[in-house]
Chains A and B, each alone.
Chain A
Amino acid sequence: MLNYVLRRIALLVPTIIGISICAFAFVRVLPGDPILAMAGQHGVTPERYEILREQFGYNLPIWQQYFNYLWSVMQGDFGISLATKRPVINEFMALFPATMELAFVALLFAVVIGIPAGIFAAIKRGSWFDQITMGVALTGYSMPIFWWGLLLIIFFSGYLGWTPVSGRIALTFFLKPITGFMLIDTLLYGNWAAFVSALRHLILPAIVLGTIPLAVIARQTRSAMLEVLGEDYVRTARAKGMSPNRVVNVHALRNALIPVVTTIGLQVGLLLGGAILTETIFTWPGIGKWMIDSISKRDYVVVQSGLLIIALIVMSVNLIVDLLYALINPRIRVQ
């Protein structure tokens, strides 16, 4: 197993280097001069321009600039935001919990509904429940989530007035973040009203972000379940006279869930992409909104480092999923 882990990590090294080159090259190929962009509307004198060029290392050969960049990134220095003049990593750390919380609740929503729906659809294959579930799942899978979010706002916020339209919590609550997760923080403070407010803010964005993963998980669970139900060992278990419940829960479900776990893990990249749209619609202060704002403000430093950090997160999660899969399924390890 250790051998497999090491080999798997070694495979990632070229990809990580490639990602860092992409992130680095991004700022260089953008139209416009980074120093002039930093200077803003007022511009700089030619002397000052030269000083800045030297200060930021833009006068060095390109490969040297790249290694300098790589070196500072490895020390945790992701640069200073052009817009806020704060270190990018601090901004990221402040906003990341909001996205984590949203993505986690969205995934929870998707798993809690998607897996049972998929299992029942498979057990009752061809029934009206199966047909409706799969119809709904395909619709969810085809959903333009930015529109879905607007529809939910029209109905639940506009028409029924049940949920707020934007933000993480009502502005009347001032809570100093402890974990950065609103639901946990409000409970730690014992502020029940704030918890309810945070939950009401979270529910629509989580549903919107969880919709496509829910559809994917339900479809995947159903097909994995159908495949397993056709296996010889399930037939044997049935033939032995086991109760249908036991056959499904013990023999089929455990084996069917292995590919589903992989699918769930692979949703993380999708969730981070979906967070861009969801956070924009609900003005959710997370990294998705941070990235899109930085792109429109042309804050190159943030975009460059945000891209790098997000890619590294997605890659790490995929690695963990792969390793977990190998742990459950020994056949993968021996290749």
Chain B
Amino acid sequence: MATTNTPASAPASGLREFWYYFSVNRGAVIGLTVFAILVFVAIFAPLIAPFAPDEQFRDALLKPPIWDANADPRFILGTDPVGRDMLSRLIHGARYSLFIGFFVVVGALVVGVILGVLAGYFRGWVDVLIMRIMDIILAFPPLLLALVLVAILGPGLFNAMIAIALVLQPHFARLVRAAVMAEKSREYVTAAKLSGAGHLRLMMVTILPNCLGPLIVQATLSFSNAILEAAALGFLGMGAQPPTPEWGTMLASAREFILKAPWVVTFPGLAILITVLAINLIGDGLRDALDPKLKRS
């Protein structure tokens, strides 16, 4: 993990400085380690998982985890109501959560950055129009808006991801707009304009890279938000559909067994919590390392 983040060559002194500040934060390093393990587990899920996520053992329904007296030694974390291995399902579930987080953030980031840059660069009616639409989206509680959007698009993982990306995107737009407005009047932008740079170049090449710090922090926070919201939608039956081993969906189908077989509820939620916590720890570390001006909140 450390090797991927420690810059190898001299020109990357900015990176080295960043890593210095990031690694001071113990929580951030722990978060990054956990996240790296999760990524590894997600990539190699079929090789690591003892069974296929949908393989049913009819002779082993609702078996408790290995430390219980009634456990079946084949299933370390027990089995679910239809005899599927919990551990294998959780391992495969990591794929879904990270996939969801990644693509939702990329979608929200791309749309949000484009809208934010346009609004902050051109101001005037473009700005008013874009920011009023963002205000409208932000007036709804995010989960409620996502739910309604999924109701329109139809329940399912892909539609849930679109809905969540749409709900998270205004935060990027607002952030980028503010940053662009602050940078626009700087001398280096004027210099670039005088040397004949066009609008597109000014927006994307000159200004945008200087707004990256807060954007990276926001992207990290959105990553964890996206995972939480997708799990919530899955839990409410509007996200990934069974038998997909998505953690929220697993929780939904385990609800009726909460008193009889607590482990089918405990583990998927724990997996969500650990993943989200790891990403938020990274986010805190990034915030401290990238922009000391940004306050912890």
Contacts and interface: CB of A to CB of B under 8 A. Distances in A.
B255 A150 contact: yes
A146 B235 contact: yes
A31 B150 CA distance: 11
Contact of A223 (B132, B142, B265, B296): B296
B148 A314 contact: no
A303 interface: yes
B251 A150 contact: yes
A220 B296 CA distance: 7
Interface in A202-249: 216, 219-220, 222-223, 227
Interface string B264-297: 0110111011001100110010000000000111
B105 to A, nearest CB: 16
Contacts of A274: 143
Contact of A30 (B144, B151, B236, B265): B151
Contacts of A143: 273, 276
A219 B296 contact: yes
A219 B142 contact: no
A22 interface: yes
Given A26-B148, A219-B296, A223-B297, A147 B273 contact: yes
A47 B147 CA distance: 35
A307 B269 contact: no
A277 B143 contact: yes
A15 B272 contact: no
A55 interface: no
B139 interface: yes
B98 to A, nearest CB: 15
A108 B71 CA distance: 43
B293 to A, nearest CB: 11
Interface majority SS on A: helix, strand, loop or mixed?
A: helix
A26 B149 CA distance: 9
Interface in A1-30: 14-15, 18-19, 22, 26, 29-30
A142 interface: yes
Nearest to B129: A14
Given A31-B154, A295-B147, A296-B237, A314 B273 contact: no
Contacts of B231: 144, 146
Contact of A273 (B139, B141, B265): B141
Contacts of B258: 150, 153-154, 158
B133 interface: yes
Interface majority SS on B: helix, strand, loop or mixed?
A: helix
Contacts of B143: 273-274, 276-277
Contact of A154 (B140, B151, B259, B268): B259
A142 B148 contact: no
B296 A222 contact: yes
B132 A142 contact: no
Contacts of A310: 140-141, 144
Nearest to B142: A273
B152 interface: yes
Contacts of B284: 138
A261 B36 CA distance: 38
B259 A158 contact: yes
A219 B273 contact: no
B94 interface: no
B232 A15 contact: no
A291 B236 CA distance: 12
A163 interface: no
A29 B152 contact: yes
Given A19-B136, A277-B236, A151 B265 contact: yes
A139 interface: yes
Nearest to B140: A311
Given A143-B273, A147-B265, A147-B272, A314 B151 contact: no
A167 B119 CA distance: 47
B135 interface: yes
B53 interface: no
Contacts of B154: 31
B277 A142 contact: yes
B169 interface: no
A19 B136 CA distance: 6
B78 interface: no
Given A22-B136, A150-B269, A141 B151 contact: no
B295 A227 contact: yes
A307 B148 contact: yes
Contacts of B270: 147
A247 to B, nearest CB: 21
Interface string B9-52: 00000000000000000010000000000000000000000000
A178 interface: no
A277 B148 CA distance: 14
A291 B232 contact: no
A280 B224 contact: no
15 contacts: A15-B136, A19-B136, A30-B152, A31-B152, A139-B273, A139-B277, A143-B276, A146-B251, A147-B272, A150-B255, A150-B258, A154-B262, A219-B297, A270-B141, A310-B144
Closest 6 pairs between A and B when the two form their complex, measured CB to CB? A147-B269, A273-B141, A18-B136, A142-B276, A273-B143, A142-B277
Given A30-B152, A158-B259, A315-B139, 19 more contacts: A31-B154, A138-B277, A138-B284, A143-B273, A144-B248, A147-B268, A147-B270, A154-B258, A154-B265, A158-B258, A223-B296, A269-B141, A273-B143, A277-B236, A292-B147, A295-B148, A311-B139, A311-B140, A314-B140
